[in-house]
Amino acid sequence: MDFSIKRTSFIAIIVIAALLVIFVPLWVKDYRADTLLSFTIPTLPTPPSAALLPTTAGKASIKNLLSFPLTPAKAWVVELPDIKDPAQAENLVLSLRRKGFNAYSRQYKSLLGVLTRVFVGPEVKPEQMKQVAEQLHTQMHLTTQVVPFDPLLSQ
């Protein structure tokens, strides 16, 4: 019987402690933090009304925009195989220029390291670049490929 009294009193102490942990913070005013925040949201700026905008300049600009082509004119270049040694690539560019070709080279990073790509061109018509590619193949025994010109690579 002594064991059941100890067990009952132990359970009662645990229940009372749990209730105190739950309810005492509610009675203590300083313990609770203020959870309400107040702030103001700025209003969105209003767009200018259509009545304030001039209409004659708008019509002229729309006509000018429609007269321009929507896509830029394409150009083509002959791409030569990649070269790992920059000095060899520069020698190839110089020899191509001596033969009258408009050649340039660009370096890029790849899994094999920094490679140099040599280009000839650009020309607007792809047929012209195909003829140049055939000349390079017959005269210098180079593997060539005609690709679209990327102006970002030519800088």
Per-residue CA distances from 71 to 65, 66, 87, 153 (Å): 12, 12, 37, 19
- With beta carbons less than 8 A apart as the criterion, state whether 78 and 149 touch: no
Q: Give residue 14's pLDDT.
A: 94
Indicate whether 27 and 87 sit together in one domain: no
CATH number at residue 84: 3.30.70.1070
pLDDT, position 88: 92
The end-to-end CA distance of the chain, in Å, is 97
Cα–Cα–Cα angle for 145, 147, 153, rounded to 5 degrees: 115
Q: Is the pLDDT of residue 155 over 50?
A: no
The tokens for 104 are 């340039």
In a domain, 48, yes or no: no
Position 7 in a domain: yes
Residue 53, domain member (yes or no): no
In a domain, 19, yes or no: yes
Task: Domain of residue 83: give its range.
Answer: 76-148
**What tens digit of pLDDT does each residue of 14-26 get?**
999 999 988 887 7
Instruction: Please state the domain count of the chain.
Output: 2
* 50 occurs within a structural domain: no
Examine the domain organization and report whether 89 and 28 are in the same domain: no
Q: What is the pLDDT of residues 83-126, one digit of tens each?
A: 899 899 999 999 999 989 899 888 888 888 889 999 998 888 88
* 144 lies in the same domain as 81: yes
Within the chain, strands assigned E span 76-79, 103-110, 113-123, 145-148
Backbone dihedral angles phi then psi of residue 57, each to the nearest 5 degrees = -70, -35
Average pLDDT estimate for 144-153: 81
Per-residue confidence (pLDDT) for residue 110, from 0 to 100: 85
Residue 141 falls within a domain, yes or no? yes
pLDDT tens digits, one per residue of 119-142: 998 888 888 889 989 988 888 888
The answer on 91 and 28 residing in a single domain is no
Q: Is the pLDDT of residue 52 over 80?
A: no
- Looking at the domain assignment, is residue 49 inside a domain? no
